Amino acid sequence: MRSFSHFACIDWSGARIERPDGIAVAVIGPEGPPALISPEPRWSRADVLDWLLNLADTQRDMLIGFDLSMALPFFDHGSYFPEWNESPDNAKALWRQIDLISRNDPHLNVTSFLEHEQVNRHFRHGRGVIGDLFTGGTGRLRAVERYQRETGQANSASCFNLVGAAQVGKSSLTGMRLLKQLDSAIPVWPFDPVPGSGPVIVEIYTTVAALAAGLPKGRSKVRDRAGLEQALTELNTPLPARLRRYDDHSTDALITAAWMKQVAANRALWHPPALTDEIAQKEGWTFGVF
């Protein structure tokens, strides 16, 4: 397995505003503690895109984890959007479709996509506002999300549910717009082969890192210095300088970047037995789930 010199975790947000509170970027190098990159006043999604394009230019050997789902469920119904004859047949085509339909939405938002007459049928949009093709209960799940639940490694939410504090649909869809606009400048695993050098993007789930850092299941969010110290000590990682604010977006990013550095050389994580070529191209996979 190839090596990386630097590791980054991006805690993402689907909020409609230009500069959401929920975006945090943490980086760790060959030595020292993880550190937050904190532009003023806050990150925008466009800022993150520019940062990634700069990394592509410099070809730094960085593994970059995004806390979002990089595709929608396909295999449970043989389609991302059953009953729509323009439903894409692979993840990159899905990214293109989302970006095209939302092309006039500012800040990489996906309002137009979610309002599309065929698309909106599949989502739970709000309390009492449910598309007629939304699958009840938790909503549809990808193969990796079902596998996480079956093996107890995580408890991912459905991207088709847009309601509640734990919803991940809007952040994932805005993330797919970003991946399309990167235009293959950085390879994205497992959709692309891992190159011998340069940056690589993977999907991560910060709860996987938190559990590896010894945080208890169901209480994996850290909002103070003591919790951050406990987690990083478990990962044999030095503690960063004091943060201005100990919100879970910042601590998730710091802990996950440190965890990625610890596990990136584990070949098994790059070749999980349940990941087939077809799953890789249509639904993707969460790095660290094996």
Model pLDDT for residues 145-202, shown as the tens digit of each residue? 999 999 988 888 899 999 987 789 999 999 999 999 999 999 999 999 999 999 999 9
Strand, helix or coil for residue 54? helix
Residue 165: the pLDDT is: 73
Per the structure block, which two tokens stand in for 186?
């950085």
**241 lies in the same domain as 220:** yes
Overall number of domains in the chain: 2
Residue 221 to residue 104: CA distance in whole angstroms: 35
Tallying the residues shown for the chain, one arrives at 290
Residue 85 to residue 87: CA distance in whole angstroms: 6
- Please report whether residue 173 resides in a domain: yes
- Please report whether residue 17 resides in a domain: yes
- Please report whether residue 210 resides in a domain: yes
**217 lies in the same domain as 142:** no
Residue 128: the pLDDT is: 82
- Please report whether residue 256 resides in a domain: yes
**pLDDT beneath 70, residues of the chain:** none
**167 lies in the same domain as 199:** no
Q: pTM score, two decimals?
A: 0.96
Structural domain containing residue 120 = 91-180
Residue 218: the pLDDT is: 73
- Please report whether residue 26 resides in a domain: yes
Residue 164: the pLDDT is: 81
Burial of 121 (0-12, 13-18, 19+ CB in 10 A): middle
> Residue 208 is part of a domain; what is its CATH number?
3.30.420
Residue 152: the pLDDT is: 87
Residue 71: the pLDDT is: 98
